[in-house]
Amino acid sequence: MSQCIMPDEMARPLIRGRGVGGGSGRLEASTSEPDAPVVGILGTGDFSRSLARRLAASGYQVVVGSRNPKRSAALFPEEAEVTSQVEAASQADLVFVAVFPEHHSTLVELKPTLAGKTLVDVSNGLSINRDGPSNAEQLAKLFPESSVVKGFNTISAWTLQVGPRDGNRQILLCGNNSTAKSSVMQLCRRMGFVPVDMGLLSSSLEVENLPLRLFPSWRVPVLCTLCLFAFFYVYNFLRDVLQPYIMAKKKFFYKMPIETVNATLPAVALVMLSLVYLPGLCGALLQLCWGTKYNRFPCWLDRWLTSRKQLGLCSFLCAALHAIYSLCLPLRKSAYFKLLIDSKQLKEGDVWVEAAVWRMELYLSVGIMALGLLSLLAVNSLPSVANTVNWREFSFIQSTLGYCALSMATLHTLLFGWDRAFDLARYHFFLPPTFALAVVLPLTALLGRLVLFVPCVARRLGLIRRGWEKSRHIRFDLPDEGCCNGLEDASYV
Amino acid sequence: MSQCIMPDEMARPLIRGRGVGGGSGRLEASTSEPDAPVVGILGTGDFSRSLARRLAASGYQVVVGSRNPKRSAALFPEEAEVTSQVEAASQADLVFVAVFPEHHSTLVELKPTLAGKTLVDVSNGLSINRDGPSNAEQLAKLFPESSVVKGFNTISAWTLQVGPRDGNRQILLCGNNSTAKSSVMQLCRRMGFVPVDMGLLSSSLEVENLPLRLFPSWRVPVLCTLCLFAFFYVYNFLRDVLQPYIMAKKKFFYKMPIETVNATLPAVALVMLSLVYLPGLCGALLQLCWGTKYNRFPCWLDRWLTSRKQLGLCSFLCAALHAIYSLCLPLRKSAYFKLLIDSKQLKEGDVWVEAAVWRMELYLSVGIMALGLLSLLAVNSLPSVANTVNWREFSFIQSTLGYCALSMATLHTLLFGWDRAFDLARYHFFLPPTFALAVVLPLTALLGRLVLFVPCVARRLGLIRRGWEKSRHIRFDLPDEGCCNGLEDASYV
Amino acid sequence: MSQCIMPDEMARPLIRGRGVGGGSGRLEASTSEPDAPVVGILGTGDFSRSLARRLAASGYQVVVGSRNPKRSAALFPEEAEVTSQVEAASQADLVFVAVFPEHHSTLVELKPTLAGKTLVDVSNGLSINRDGPSNAEQLAKLFPESSVVKGFNTISAWTLQVGPRDGNRQILLCGNNSTAKSSVMQLCRRMGFVPVDMGLLSSSLEVENLPLRLFPSWRVPVLCTLCLFAFFYVYNFLRDVLQPYIMAKKKFFYKMPIETVNATLPAVALVMLSLVYLPGLCGALLQLCWGTKYNRFPCWLDRWLTSRKQLGLCSFLCAALHAIYSLCLPLRKSAYFKLLIDSKQLKEGDVWVEAAVWRMELYLSVGIMALGLLSLLAVNSLPSVANTVNWREFSFIQSTLGYCALSMATLHTLLFGWDRAFDLARYHFFLPPTFALAVVLPLTALLGRLVLFVPCVARRLGLIRRGWEKSRHIRFDLPDEGCCNGLEDASYV
């Protein structure tokens, strides 16, 4: 169960200090092999310890170089031999440098010993480094005669300790000397990791920045969600709480925690969902205008296109919360009190309103279906599920089911609106009802999609996707237009 | 985050046309290595571009063969050298053919140049091809002196661009020349993919059809769900809506969108769930009759057995929807109006009915537990979770917990039924109440399971599973009965 | 879809007996290659059959050794040649021993033939074997001249048949002869599996026990949950059901299935959630006292730390059930009857209680937010999602969001309590209200966390985590303190 990520992973820094924790012990080889290749490690920190353990468990002879071997020895598995740095450097051809980058300089005395050997730099920066040079490049400058390979910085000491149990531990490697690199790749494979060759050492800056990123792809979508939420919340507050207070001194402030929120969430969810499908339509439109697919899209469209998954998941989150909030409504004391009051006041005749009944039955049921479809999409965005579907299945779910969900959600909103959009009494402060605002973008998206179904448009787009270009006036389909894997059309939104 | 599959993946065809999108740029090697092996690509389509990029990023020298290199060069990463097709074919020993299958013929002029080299056919058909020959086989016929390897068709240009970040990108390869094949496998590994050897080129037809399938394993289960839904819906409509209208002119049509659906879903869910466990019992029964496990099952049972996961998930979906629908009931205006009316009409005495209270408290709580168990099963059917459990854990969850869920669900239904099955007034149109129909199959399954617990039966089955055969009258346990991995019994339903 | 684990996986034992089931057939190579290496299999059980199939599909020549080849031949794919055991043993250099461990002895006659060859032991025990020797070690004792490699026992015949489609099939290997081992690793890779070198044969005992474990990491957390549940349930029963019955002869027994459970679940959930964060604080405290991170933690803390994920998920399960139970409350006949009675009795004046309204609106909304955050954490504990986040993202979610969730949940409880903790009438039998008990641990955890935010404490802890030790009086930061991957601090709870 090394894939844990809920709190037990927090044990990492603590556990690291203590060698292997419970579950991983089983993965140790009791003693290292006599004829096994020798690997050196400089530095005796947590990472070194885990590395030594994993290497030993994978049948390597490990030699650890420490400043004062005596003190450090205790911290290492018995399989690993702890000795002086020079000793370790001289014994092994492949040496891991697990030392704070700021102390790389203290290793210069090892220069002659390390000449002609392979150094693996496992270090990370403490903050994203945009302009370089990377730690690995600095190390390479320090040891010109050794061939430096960057790697292992993307995986944690914990992963090393328990071993790559989930087959999903790739190690990104880069370096200028390809023989050195392939020997490290060999070592990765033997440890059960999947090495990925990232090319020259110049990519090391990127590789070092990877583990320091904090959800870069989520920033904009989440921000967008929050802004929409703020806007609609204020809007609803004005219409449903402030207006009655100002006009009729009615105190509806108790509505703020739940009812107003619950009027805001669906609006956000719907707009976000439409934002998922609009960029695809823009893209198609541009391609139709240009008459080719080989022009680059404007940058904003690019970014928009690549953040559609996040937009979709945010929309789903809002929709789910909306469902829970709605289901909580009858729980509330306020609802209960209202009911009692009504039961006192109402006369029997005017109780049952057929239209009101139908309206609610309909929009509830449609809403449930929309939520159901959205959950299917969400489940499908789980990496492990995503990997089991092929291109056609993927595009079916995302494109076909996705548009069904959008239509359902829009219908849900329209049914909720019923005839209220045309009832002036609903325009408090002359503000149109919320659902009327929320429904604009979705309707645009749906109409846009319908337009793309028009035969002539669809056909032209099909040509473009197969590589046809307006500029060349004949229907162009040379072989070197390349293989579309039969997916171009299917995968189109 | 390259594992996205929600909408941002739809960006693929668009992004393809534009080289690497945002997130992937970081994975590029800035320049290719001097001493790196040379790989050729014929065709300049989207796939070629992504391939070139990935190969360059993995430290290969890429030579692209195009009809008019000038125009194409712009579309390729600077690392890749774009030249004429002949030039490219002559420079590389390993050549990717990324050209529409229908244009393979246009490459014949390269025949002499490609002789003795390895051709990788990455093409897919546009529709499932049942009787062959596959694209790869046709290519092999065109280039008899080259050794053709089929592969890379199951992965998308997008995956190539961003690299196999989720370690779950297998590449299925097949070909007749194993040296050629292993060189391609080598290349896959260096790119960070996991190659899978599928044997001879004759399997290429299968490999080409894989990406064109549309949820083959889901067809029958989904169809089955829909049919059951239709049947029970009509049945409920007759009993709860039509009958009162005909008999008493009561207009209950407003029940159709929610109440009738909500009476239908649980019935479907329960029957589907029983369908998950019946085939296992049939299998056991057959094995008991035959007295051996070495006879093939009839085809229908085979298919049934292999579609149990899908049946289970459909059942879970219905159960979940049933829960949401039920929770929506008190939200509805109709419920609200009913309540008001009751509050007028009812006298205080006849309000509290102890039996009604207990019945509902009980079947609600049992229902919740059943749903809880089903969700555990569903979570366990997620690939990534499934991979973390071993055989014994798996069989515990699916068999033990599964039957608990089935029992709970059945109990839930029986408690809902209470004594109504014996109340003639409930037989509208002489149709038995729905729950009475729904409960038949589950009870059968549960009884069947109980029978298998009877010691003598259990023991005999145990023997059979270990390889014992009635035909041979002695208890037969020769070594060559093979290794059961200690799971035969545990894993039994 | 080979990653199925819901019921269709139960088909395994049945299907095994019948060779490949539906979905997997497509993956077969029609005939084996002429120049392919030869692999031998001893034993003709289910596992052997699947193994033969997969090997053939991966382009190997397979020779199966059986006691009576005639009978067995029928059961094997046509690609595999079925012959006598001696014949098979002599033809291949790499031989799989797929025979019940208890029958290994019957193979001794093959000793001369197998000398110098590689034997792969795929067997498992039937029960966990703590003191050894392992099957593999016994086999090695039987065949001293052959080099035994342990492996393939962790994967199922089913996985072999359908092939490692989900890229998540690691094969743990161990053995004393590393050339033999690497040849087996080579074979694993060619079959599309990811071999992991577990070192010497002495680890085989561990490798054999792996598939026999039954959720070892879940035992304690689940037990803990059940005990807490039992305690709180009895406690609530005493206060809410028994007390009114004894004092006022009020029959509230109908509350037992739902209301009492629903009063118990949140208490359990909250306490469990606090148990997730307490051990991290203990660890920090100990490190502060010790002034170093290099002392081992006491064993109980170790175990506690490593089972935090499970504790968290149990807590989430209770919270989710609590939500469903609460949403069911208004559905119940009892609620409905109560309402009717109230509507009769209450006079209009005393209906609307502002405080009660606000209290409920507030604790409901906070509760929903807490649940929302918990679900995010739960989704993040899915292996496939976990693998997509880097260290910083992980610690942000688990530490930051986690503490937010804990605070929300505590606030939810406090708001629910409102002023009741100070109302003596609530102390039935002089027992404090449940929420008062439940809220103790969470408050402790939150306070503890706050203390760690105090600058001086935070700074000192930071030093310790970077390797500083009190014992050495100077601020110690030698390079060989090792590389912290920039995550030490981020990842701290």
pLDDT, residue B258, reads 94
Please give the mean pLDDT across all residues of chain C: 82
- Please tell me the distance in Å from B274's CA to the nearest CA on chain A: 23
In chain C, the residue whose alpha carbon lies closest to the alpha carbon of A318 is C372
- Please tell me the distance in Å from B254's CA to the nearest CA on chain A: 6
- Dump strand ranges (E) for A17-146: 38-42, 61-66, 81-84, 94-97, 118-121
For residue C466 the two structure tokens come to 């970077």
d(CA C60, CA C55) in angstroms, rounded, equals 5
pLDDT, residue C464, reads 84
Please give the mean pLDDT across all residues of chain A: 82
Report, as an integer, the average pLDDT of A421-426: 82
Lowest mean pLDDT among C51-55, C62-66, C139-143, C166-170: C166-170
C438 phi and psi, to 5 degrees? Answer: -60, -25
| pLDDT band with cut points at 50, 70 and 90 for residue A427 | confident
Strand pairing report for B170-175 and B81-84: unpaired
pLDDT, residue B373, reads 96
- Taken in order B28, B34, B37, B39, is the CA torsion positive or negative? positive
What's the burial of B304, exposed, middle or buried (CB within 10 Å: 0-12/13-18/19+)?
buried
pLDDT, residue C164, reads 59
Q: Which residues of A touch B126 (CB under 8 A)?
A: 486
Inspect the interface and report whether the beta carbons of B384 and A386 lie closer than 8 Å: no
Inspect the interface and report whether the beta carbons of B365 and C4 lie closer than 8 Å: no
Residue type, C20: V
Residues of chain C with pLDDT > 90, as a percent, come to 44
Q: Which residues of B touch A185 (CB under 8 A)?
A: 190
Cβ partners under 8 Å of residue C392, min gap 6: A211, A212, A213, A214, C487, C490
For residue B137 the two structure tokens come to 């086989």
Q: Which of B32, B254, B344 sits opposite A357 (nearest CB)?
A: B254
- pLDDT tens string, chain B, 493 residues long: the values are 333 333 333 333 322 233 333 333 333 333 444 556 899 999 888 888 889 988 887 778 999 998 888 877 877 878 789 999 999 999 999 999 998 888 888 888 899 999 999 999 998 877 888 887 899 999 999 999 999 999 998 887 777 776 655 545 678 899 998 889 989 988 988 887 878 888 889 889 888 888 888 888 899 999 999 999 999 999 999 999 999 999 999 889 999 999 999 999 999 999 999 999 999 999 999 999 988 877 778 989 988 988 999 999 999 999 999 999 999 999 998 888 888 888 877 665 667 888 889 999 999 999 999 999 999 999 998 888 887 787 788 889 988 999 999 999 999 999 999 888 888 888 878 889 999 999 999 999 999 999 999 999 999 998 887 767 776 544 333 333 333 333 232 222 2
Inspect the interface and report whether the beta carbons of C18 and B297 lie closer than 8 Å: yes
Tell me whether the omega of the peptide bond preceding residue C133 falls within 30 degrees of 0, making it cis: yes
Q: Which of B2, B10, B75, B389 is the best mutation test for A, with the most CBs of A within 10 A?
A: B10
- Dump strand ranges (E) for B194-329: 194-197
Q: Which of B203, B305, B330 sits opposite C11 (nearest CB)?
A: B305
Lowest mean pLDDT among A436-440, A451-455, C8-12, C285-289: C8-12
Tell the residue number behind the tokens 């920045």, with chain if given.
A209
For residue C401 the two structure tokens come to 């969001």
| pLDDT band with cut points at 50, 70 and 90 for residue A17 | very low
Inspect the interface and report whether the beta carbons of B321 and A195 lie closer than 8 Å: no
Pure H helices in C192-242: 204-209, 219-236
Report, as an integer, the average pLDDT of A193-200: 81
d(CA C344, CA B350) in angstroms, rounded, equals 12
In chain C, the residue whose alpha carbon lies closest to the alpha carbon of A187 is C197
What pLDDT, in 10s, does the model give residues A27-39?
333 344 455 689 9
pLDDT, residue A324, reads 96
pLDDT, residue B350, reads 65
Q: Which of A1, A2, A3, A5 is the best mutation test for C, with the most CBs of C within 10 A?
A: A5
pLDDT, residue B18, reads 30
Inspect the interface and report whether the beta carbons of A43 and C202 lie closer than 8 Å: no
Inspect the interface and report whether the beta carbons of A13 and C310 lie closer than 8 Å: no
Strand pairing report for C147-150 and C170-175: antiparallel
Q: Which of B179, B324, B393, B485 is the best mutation test for C, with the most CBs of C within 10 A?
A: B485
Inspect the interface and report whether the beta carbons of C360 and A334 lie closer than 8 Å: yes
Q: How far is CA B86 from CA A326, B82, B90, B112, B150, in A?
A: 67, 11, 6, 10, 22
Lowest mean pLDDT among B442-456, C123-137, C250-264: C123-137
Q: Which of B222, B314, B406, B483 is the best mutation test for C, with the most CBs of C within 10 A?
A: B483
Counting Cα atoms < 13 Å in the Cβ hemisphere of A476 gives 16
Lowest mean pLDDT among A200-209, A262-271, B330-339, B471-480: B471-480
What pLDDT, in 10s, does the model give residues C271-328?
999 999 999 999 999 999 988 877 778 989 988 988 999 999 999 999 999 999 999 9
pLDDT, residue B75, reads 76
pLDDT, residue C162, reads 65
In chain A, the residue whose alpha carbon lies closest to the alpha carbon of B103 is A479
Inspect the interface and report whether the beta carbons of A56 and C196 lie closer than 8 Å: no
| pLDDT band with cut points at 50, 70 and 90 for residue C348 | low
d(CA B383, CA B289) in angstroms, rounded, equals 35
Q: Which of C11, C28, C31 sits opposite B306 (nearest CB)?
A: C11
Q: If you write DSSP's letter for every residue of C328-367 in order, what string do you get?
A: HGGGSHHHHHHHHHHHHH--STTS--HHHHHHHHHHHHHH
In chain A, the residue whose alpha carbon lies closest to the alpha carbon of C165 is A388
Inspect the interface and report whether the beta carbons of B44 and A482 lie closer than 8 Å: yes
* Cα–chain center distance at C158: 22
Q: Which residues of A touch C488 (CB under 8 A)?
A: 13, 46
pLDDT at A433 over 80: yes
Q: How far is CA C399 from CA A10, A162, C446, C450, in A?
A: 8, 22, 12, 13
Under 8 Å CB pairs connecting chains B and C tally to: 336
- Taken in order A176, A182, A187, A191, is the CA torsion positive or negative? positive
pLDDT, residue B165, reads 55
pLDDT, residue C350, reads 65
Most confident of A164-168, A477-481, B198-202: B198-202
Inspect the interface and report whether the beta carbons of C106 and B358 lie closer than 8 Å: no
What pLDDT, in 10s, does the model give residues C364-382?
999 999 999 999 999 998 8
Q: Which residues of C touch A45 (CB under 8 A)?
A: 467, 480-484
Inspect the interface and report whether the beta carbons of A398 and B7 lie closer than 8 Å: yes
Q: State whether residue B41 is helix, strand or coil.
A: strand
d(CA A221, CA A271) in angstroms, rounded, equals 12
In chain B, the residue whose alpha carbon lies closest to the alpha carbon of C169 is B387
Tell me whether the omega of the peptide bond preceding residue B133 falls within 30 degrees of 0, making it cis: yes
Inspect the interface and report whether the beta carbons of A153 and C485 lie closer than 8 Å: yes
- Please tell me the distance in Å from C229's CA to the nearest CA on chain A: 22
Inspect the interface and report whether the beta carbons of B486 and C66 lie closer than 8 Å: no
- Please tell me the distance in Å from A24's CA to the nearest CA on chain C: 11
Inspect the interface and report whether the beta carbons of A190 and C197 lie closer than 8 Å: yes
- Please tell me the distance in Å from C232's CA to the nearest CA on chain A: 23
CA torsion C11-C17-C19-C24 (nearest 10°) is: 10
Inspect the interface and report whether the beta carbons of A44 and C482 lie closer than 8 Å: yes
Residue type, B136: A
- Please tell me the distance in Å from C157's CA to the nearest CA on chain B: 9
pLDDT, residue A471, reads 66
pLDDT, residue C49, reads 86
Chain B: touching chains (3 or more CB pairs < 8 Å) = A, C
pTM, 2 dp: 0.84
Rounded to two decimals, the ipTM of the complex is 0.81
Inspect the interface and report whether the beta carbons of C387 and B323 lie closer than 8 Å: no
Q: State whether residue B96 is helix, strand or coil.
A: strand
Beta bridge pairs of residue C81: C63
Closest CA to B377 of B352, B353, B406, B350: B406
Inspect the interface and report whether the beta carbons of A302 and B22 lie closer than 8 Å: yes
- Phi-psi label, residue B43: left if phi above 0, alpha if psi -120 to 50, beta otherwise: left
Q: Which residues of C touch B469 (CB under 8 A)?
A: none
Report, as an integer, the average pLDDT of C463-472: 72
Q: Which of B381, B390, B480 sits opposite C99 (nearest CB)?
A: B480
pLDDT, residue B182, reads 86
| pLDDT band with cut points at 50, 70 and 90 for residue A195 | confident
- Please tell me the distance in Å from B467's CA to the nearest CA on chain A: 32
d(CA B414, CA C287) in angstroms, rounded, equals 57
Which H or E run contains A89? helix A85-91
What pLDDT, in 10s, does the model give residues A282-294?
999 999 998 887 7
DSSP state of C80: S
d(CA B379, CA B446) in angstroms, rounded, equals 23
In chain C, the residue whose alpha carbon lies closest to the alpha carbon of A194 is C194
Chain C: touching chains (3 or more CB pairs < 8 Å) = A, B
Which H or E run contains C118? strand C118-121
Q: Which of B14, B66, B217 is the best mutation test for A, with the most CBs of A within 10 A?
A: B14
- Please tell me the distance in Å from B172's CA to the nearest CA on chain C: 9
Lowest mean pLDDT among A229-243, B6-20, C441-455: B6-20
Closest CA to C196 of C150, C138, C148: C150
Report, as an integer, the average pLDDT of C349-378: 90
d(CA C309, CA A12) in angstroms, rounded, equals 13
Q: Which of B2, B8, B171, B327 is the best mutation test for A, with the most CBs of A within 10 A?
A: B8
Inspect the interface and report whether the beta carbons of A480 and B72 lie closer than 8 Å: yes
Inspect the interface and report whether the beta carbons of A330 and C326 lie closer than 8 Å: no
Inspect the interface and report whether the beta carbons of B46 and A484 lie closer than 8 Å: yes
Q: Which of B58, B101, B211 sits opposite A390 (nearest CB)?
A: B211
Pure H helices in A295-382: 299-306, 308-328, 333-345, 354-380
